[in-house]
């Protein structure tokens, strides 16, 4: 519970073993006792006290730690509500922390990033943002602008005073610095998108080339059905796996061939659509057979995409090899040989993926990485306003017009941290949280 009445409500349902007045209880204190209703003990509990302003929400807070179990928990919750508490809205605790000024909107959003993290790197990026690294960078950029803006405002409001004139060259120099810093943040979203959403990876190949066997090998479980019969996979199978701290969204697709029925036809069309949208294509070929028309169709789907050619079944008698096939080498994609069933060459595949996406270069300890599309869009908008301001200066506009465009940049940056964001956006952000946060 959080809020002015939280201790008052607690006192109605909690009997500590050693009774003390509320004023005597220190913050960050745990007390042992019982939840009681009509002199009947409901559960033996530990209650943690947090006194304002030193709490998550900056309000008085308490946490009741019971033995658990749905019956007991529901009963304690009902007792809290009966004595004046209200159920929290999604994200309400973090929203109160934001509204009460303990954290900014960037830090609040990082809480949900940490909760929903699918990999260590995503969790690490969220924790770094929670600590305020991006907030500090935005504050630094804003300060660069404000240092110049102060003199601009004075020269506009008090032209009669002998204030040092802000020359266009000074403003342009500041805008250049701001633009460079914002461009670096915007560029970091390329890595941030990978960290947050993972690499959308389509596994393509003819029926029985070994797509499902590869998926099962990477996942280390029998996720897809594998048989000697062609066309077993009729629809897509999606799973997440982590490589070098980065999630891969693996999609096993229906085999590419002339469809035998309407269902398979739909599955193959879906495979081709996924190939277009994928960040990475793993094109798997049966190394014991010569290339066919369907194989060339798969090679065509790989054009202008990040892709790896995989020659499977090298534990048998391969005809296709990395060295002897000029047609495969034409694609200029990495070519590796594996046996999905015998677990040969899989580590080499991981290394090729790391190389293609420069995964080893994502160093969260040193760099600030944008992972949130809302932040990225606002940074892009701020960059556009920087460019507009430069155009305004170069076209000889007066200082008061230039000031309007500079204020637009400040507003864009303020929306990132929550200083100038609308209530509707705030409500939308916190609606994505779970009740417990």
Residue 221 above 90 pLDDT?
A: no
What digits encode the pLDDT tens for the residues 76-105? Answer: 999 999 999 999 998 899 999 999 999 999
Contact 336, 348 (CB under 8 A): yes
What digits encode the pLDDT tens for the residues 305-328? Answer: 889 999 999 998 888 776 666 666
Both tokens of residue 51? 């006194």
Q: Which has the closest alpha carbon to 367: 119, 125, 102, 70? A: 125
Residue 366 above 70 pLDDT?
A: no
What pLDDT score does 430 carry? Answer: 87
Pairing label, strands 61-65, 40-50:
antiparallel
State percent of the chain over pLDDT 70.
Answer: 85
How far apart are the C-alpha atoms of 9 and 271, rounded to whole Å? 58
Alpha-carbon dihedral sign for residues 360, 361, 365, 369: negative
Q: Name the DSSP letter for residue 2.
A: B
pTM: 0.74
What digits encode the pLDDT tens for the residues 151-166? Answer: 787 666 665 554 445 6
Query: Quick one: pLDDT band at residue 382, thresholds 50, 70, 90?
Result: very high
Segment 215-223 shows an average pLDDT of 74
Segment holding 336, helix H or strand E? strand 335-337
Tell me which residue has tokens 């600590």: 131
Segment 361-378 shows an average pLDDT of 82
**CB neighbour class for 87 (10 Å; exposed up to 12, middle 13-18, buried from 19):** exposed
């Amino acid at each position: 519970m959080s809020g002015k009445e939280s201790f008052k409500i607690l006192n109605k349902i909690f009997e500590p073993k050693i009774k003390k007045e509320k004023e005597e209880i220190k913050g960050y204190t745990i007390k042992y006792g019982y939840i009681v209703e009509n002199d009947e003990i409901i559960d033996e509990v530990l209650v943690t006290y947090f006194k304002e302003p030193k709490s998550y929400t900056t309000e008085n807070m308490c946490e009741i730690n019971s033995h658990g179990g749905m019956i007991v928990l529901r009963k304690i919750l009902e007792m809290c509500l009966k004595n004046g508490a209200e159920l929290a809205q999604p994200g309400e605790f973090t929203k109160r922390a934001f509204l009460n000024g303990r954290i900014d909107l960037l830090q609040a959003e990082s809480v949900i990033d940490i909760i929903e993290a699918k990999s260590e790197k995503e969790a690490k990026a969220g924790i770094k943002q929670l600590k305020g690294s991006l907030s500090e960078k935005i504050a630094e950029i804003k300060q660069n602008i404000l240092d110049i803006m102060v003199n601009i405002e004075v020269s506009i409001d008090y032209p009669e005073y002998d204030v040092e004139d802000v020359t266009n060259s000074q403003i342009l120099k500041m805008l250049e610095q701001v633009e460079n810093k914002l461009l670096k943040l915007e560029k970091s979203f390329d890595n941030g998108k990978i960290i947050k959403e993972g690499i959308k990876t389509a596994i393509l190949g003819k029926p029985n080339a070994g797509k499902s066997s590869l998926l099962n090998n990477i996942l280390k479980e029998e996720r897809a059905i594998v048989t000697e019969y062609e066309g077993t996979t009729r629809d897509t199978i999606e799973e997440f796996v982590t490589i070098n701290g980065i999630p891969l969204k693996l999609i096993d697709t229906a085999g590419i061939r002339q469809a035998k029925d309407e269902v398979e036809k739909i599955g193959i069309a879906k495979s081709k659509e996924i190939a277009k949208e994928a960040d990475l294509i793993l094109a798997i070929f049966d190394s014991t057979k010569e290339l066919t028309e369907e194989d060339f169709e798969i090679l065509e789907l790989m054009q202008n995409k990040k892709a790896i050619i995989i020659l499977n079944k090298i534990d048998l008698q391969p005809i296709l090899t990395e060295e002897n096939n000029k047609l495969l080498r034409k694609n200029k994609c990495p070519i590796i040989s594996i046996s999905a069933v015998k677990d040969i060459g899989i580590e080499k595949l991981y290394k090729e993926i790391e190389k293609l996406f420069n995964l080893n270069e994502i160093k969260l300890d040193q760099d600030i990485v944008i992972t949130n599309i809302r932040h990225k869009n606002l940074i892009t908008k701020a960059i556009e306003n920087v460019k507009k301001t430069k155009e305004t200066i170069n076209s000889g506009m007066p200082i008061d017009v230039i000031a309007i465009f500079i204020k637009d940049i400040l507003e864009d940056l303020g929306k990132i941290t929550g200083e100038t964001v609308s209530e509707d956006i705030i409500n939308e952000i916190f609606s994505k949280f779970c009740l417990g946060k």
